[in-house]
Amino acid sequence: MRITAEFVTSVARLDQLPPESLPEIALTGRSNVGKSSMINALVGKPGLARTSNTPGRTQTLNYYRITPDEKTGKPFFLVDMPGYGFAAVSKWSRAQWQDIVEQYLDARPMLCGIVQIIDLRHLPQPLDHTMAQWLRGSDRRYVIVGTKADKVAKTKVPGLLTQVTQSLNVDSQDTMAFSAQTGFGRDQLWRWVINATNAIHPEHPKIFPDQGNQ
């Protein structure tokens, strides 16, 4: 499959969002969970999304235009959202990010799918549960992807996915494993993304109810 991919824009405020011209797939997860590496591996373009060893580096909604070949699907945006749960940034910054993420996920008409990313090696954290709970209660199409599958024994992957499914109280069909290093799970995630670009969703409840930062 031939894919072209390019960075389009970074959005710090909702009034900076690009025109509603293409379907959008949003990537959400804790800081340093591997969103940028997933983007690069998914489109086969190393260096497209900047990776960093410093958690909390992504502080904007980063838009990437993805164009598969005509036989595979139509163009869409991958939207890399700010990571949640990084304690080293100020509470004010976290509140700002949270507000942008909530409003974007709640009301963006072109948003047709959400990929929640967790580290397969660790049990989901409190904010992972908060995000998953919102996803379960919304009408958005979603999938939960356990990254860094190459860091564990291949035989342990199914059991770890089962733990994720039970911990987050989601259907096993809504989870998958992925490795940016080996490409494990890439085809499965691609199929999900292509199918999701045709989804339509109504209004949604608030993601993060008023609560202290975790």
pTM of full prediction above 0.95:
no
Confidence of residue 209 (pLDDT cuts 50, 70, 90): very low
Strand order in the sheet with 175-177: 3-11, 61-68, 76-80, 24-29, 111-119, 142-147, 175-177
pLDDT of 25 strictly over 60 = yes
What gap in Å lies between CA 154 and CA 61, rounded to an integer? 33
CATH 3.40.50.300 fits 3-196, yes or no: yes
Q: Where are the domains of the chain?
A: 3-196
Average pLDDT of every residue of the chain: 83
Q: How many of the other CB atoms lie within 10 Å of CB of 188?
A: 14
Q: Please tell me the least confidently modeled range out of 3-12, 158-167, 197-206.
A: 197-206
Helices (H), the chain: 35-43, 91-107, 126-137, 157-168, 186-196
pLDDT of 205 strictly over 80 = no
Q: Work out the average pLDDT over 169-188.
A: 95
Confidence of residue 27 (pLDDT cuts 50, 70, 90): very high
pLDDT of 106 strictly over 90 = no
Cβ-contact 10, 65 below 8 angstroms: no
